Structure 1
């Protein structure tokens, strides 16, 4: 097994959601503002994007994108320069330079920009797309028909188990189901450090430490197994966990145009 490295990792600045904290973690109260980032990773064999966040137009016209019923629950915040397409072009890339797009899962706040990458290879975890088309009622609002319509037009593949994306250990898709059936995380090995990007397998630092599940996980027992798997991998790989929606992680780590390499 060769041990390669990705060259560079950017956390793309993102719009935010402001939600009731008890929707993220039992026993909490009040509002919390959470980021919805995407991560761009440069590898010698391709330009990889992990998650595509909210629909870019939702920043300025949320009701047209998500409807009058859902928008008041989301508290979308952000500016034009936080659009995913603007973030990528600001780094000097064209959208068509992105070769691989990995969706942690199919929820609307992680798949809103999929339509921007019609030529890329798209990756989903095992069982995600079937569930997205027929979700349990508690999760039906987070899967959007317009996203499913986009996915049908893309070059998609379902990842069974883990997948070493380029066969060199640099970028590994990790099966971490539970939040949704096909939830995946991403291990990114850089020359200086290794990150575990957790998607929604973990939502907040407190959830990771207390091993509480997310209130509307599709499968609670499986979600807790995945959370423990990530904690074990953090230790064995000497990795840094980056929880996508956690505001403390977002405050601590560097965002684009800053990067890790």
Structure 2
């Protein structure tokens, strides 16, 4: 019997036969509800060329959970969950939040400690609000945004407080300066797209059904894509336009499904929670 096994092994080696390559782990993408915003004067708020009409416009906030086999990555964390069930109004906008990220994760049996990494598209308060609930996760965020929050004074005190666990040295932090391969297998990539903020990133997710591109806040709604609308509060206008060009070229070259994270019509391109895109 030993001779037969040895002979078979030798034959397989000589004939070049190899075991089939291992199949990649399943990749899934869930969209999470992370807020709603009524912008009171969205023309002035979102265009520095007076592109859009005056008057209110409602946009949404969305976050995304990605599962790569047994590993979990959370993209953006939305408004603070102190807003759940109530609204907050400023002269510029009214903010609302129906459910927390933690509450939604319970629906798909994901515990906070299972989140291995959090990716933040940029430092604005409506993208970092619930990060503190995942202290064991490594935070991935552009270095330009880290520098903005560590500045004296910081770019935004509330955002700095939301990320204090990582900014003050307690949590695991990676300040990215280039595109970041999140899992090391090329299927989930943070794409450096500065302009809205100094360290802004978009996200590429290569699902089996086709690639998906999440904008962060490179765009806020559909009209911006054709009009190249640049909000007056963006960090750098020229960088914004260059990042829009890069993003659009990637989308075209890959045939990717683009999801503008604040655009209701775009997030509806993905399955409704708790279903996942695959």
Q: Structure 2-normalised TM-score?
A: 0.82
1:10 paired residue number = 30
Q: Distance in 1 between matches of 2:141 and 2:152?
A: 16
* Unaligned segments of structure 2, at least 5 residues: 1-22
Q: Distance in 2 between matches of 1:100 and 1:234?
A: 25
2:20 paired residue number = none
Q: Distance in 1 between matches of 2:182 and 2:26?
A: 11
Deviations 1:41-72 (A, max 9, x none): 00025101000000111224666xxxxxx645
Instruction: Tell which structure's C-alpha radius of gyration is larger.
Output: 2
Q: Distance in 2 between matches of 1:182 and 1:133?
A: 13
Report if the CA contact (8 A) 1:212-1:224 is conserved.
no
1:78 aligns with 2:97: yes
2:58 paired residue number = 33
Q: 2:225 aligns with which of 178, 189, 208?
A: 208
Q: Distance in 2 between matches of 1:217 and 1:175?
A: 15
Q: What is the number of residues matched between the two proteins?
A: 250
Q: Structure 1-normalised TM-score?
A: 0.87
Say which SS state the counterpart of residue 131 (structure 1) adopts: helix
1:218 paired residue number = 235
* Unaligned segments of structure 1, at least 5 residues: 64-69
Q: What is the CA-CA distance between 1:256 and the residue it aligns to?
A: 1.1
Q: Distance in 2 between matches of 1:135 and 1:211?
A: 32
Report if the CA contact (8 A) 2:251-2:257 is conserved.
yes
Q: Distance in 2 between matches of 1:235 and 1:5?
A: 26
Measured at CA, do residues 221 and 142 of structure 1 come closer, stay the same or move farther in structure 2, by a change above 3 Å? farther
Report if the CA contact (8 A) 1:114-1:150 is conserved.
no
Q: Distance in 1 between matches of 2:149 and 2:213?
A: 24
Q: Distance in 2 between matches of 1:142 and 1:229?
A: 31
Deviations 1:69-90 (A, max 9, x none): x6453312232xx211111111
Q: Higher relative contact order by CA 8 Å / sep ≥ 6: 1 or 2?
A: 1
Aligned CA-pair RMSD:
2.4
